[in-house]
Amino acid sequence: MESWNNENTVFVMFSREDELAKQRGFRIYRPYKDTTINGRIIRELWFRTPFLSDRRWYNEAIINDRVKYILVRDPLISRDYLVWLHENMPEAKIFFLYGNMVGKAKHLEPGDIPSFVKKWTYDDYDARTYNLPIYPYVIEPGKVIKNQRPEYDVFFVGRDKNRGEWLLDLEQQLQSYGLKTKFIITKDGRFSKKKKYYQPMIPYTKVLEYDARSRAILNVVMEKQEGITLRDIEAITLNIKLITTNKHIVDKDFYNPNNVFVIGERNINEIADFVQSDPEPIPDALIKAHSFEHYLDVITSETL
């Protein structure tokens, strides 16, 4: 079987986590033609209107690019879009990668994905529940973000998801231990009821800037979530401290109690000393085992 390269492999995703692919010269396609908020609103209304063809909005640029492998990230992808890809590019192998837990975002359920598409997840719970393989996470220090002089002890960014008040209480507790915090809590969606502590959403590039200026990243996971998330990867990549509510993190290959603090499993009184101590270096073997190349090797080596 032909192996992947940046000529025969493309990505379909909304530009947020694509820096590693861009740096290696991979082509990245947005699935739909709309490029503005107003365009997206019109498209979503169009999709909800019977007898109007959704294909009017599909970005046809990809079907002129005769490739071998198509990696599709999960947000806002429809079953018909995947069928359309297959109809126009029948020789290409299509992979659908869940970047969120099943049912926690606007994406297809595993049973709705066509059989000609290979499904992958990052989360152990979803892997067991839906019989999905787990794709490896990627850590590549210095490739996307680099450490700067610490300005904050603990940084958090994320949507409310009914945890806003809990986050504010935790922030006050961290501050009571003398830690300097930067918490950005945003509303869940465009039509969510506004709360006084909500802040505007920030672009992912700004998230990375805050990461690089922090001693520790806080990750508050969803119920039943067990897999490694983007916040975890950012902490590993920068080799800074990680504070998390994910109790399953202790089973991951990167877990090191000197670098990872699990809320609820350790005495919170230890957290200031934990944050302000130096992290232990990431082992070279771990970096090698989680390269971007290995990630692509694992996904594209699977036969449909």
* pLDDT value, residue 12: 93
Averaged over 216-231, what is the pLDDT? Answer: 91
* pLDDT value, residue 304: 45
Examine the pLDDT at 204 and tell me if it is beyond 70.
yes
Averaged over 71-96, what is the pLDDT? Answer: 92
64 and 180 in a common domain: no
Token pair listed for 232? 């975890």
Domain total of the chain: 2
Segment 159-168, tens digit of pLDDT:
888 888 999 9
pTM confidence score: 0.82
90 and 177 in a common domain: no
* pLDDT value, residue 287: 87
Averaged over 133-151, what is the pLDDT? Answer: 84
Here the CATH number for the domain that contains residue 85 is 3.40.50
Assess if residue 2 is contained within a domain: no
163 and 267 in a common domain: yes
Assess if residue 276 is contained within a domain: yes
Assess if residue 23 is contained within a domain: yes
263 and 196 in a common domain: yes
233 and 156 in a common domain: yes
Q: For the chain, what percent of residues have pLDDT higher than 70?
A: 96
170 and 82 in a common domain: no
Residue 68's domain comprises 9-139+291-300
Examine the pLDDT at 297 and tell me if it is beyond 70.
yes
156 and 117 in a common domain: no
Examine the pLDDT at 105 and tell me if it is beyond 80.
no
167 and 134 in a common domain: no
82 and 172 in a common domain: no
47 and 67 in a common domain: yes
Examine the pLDDT at 214 and tell me if it is beyond 50.
yes
Assess if residue 258 is contained within a domain: yes
Token pair listed for 178? 């003398």
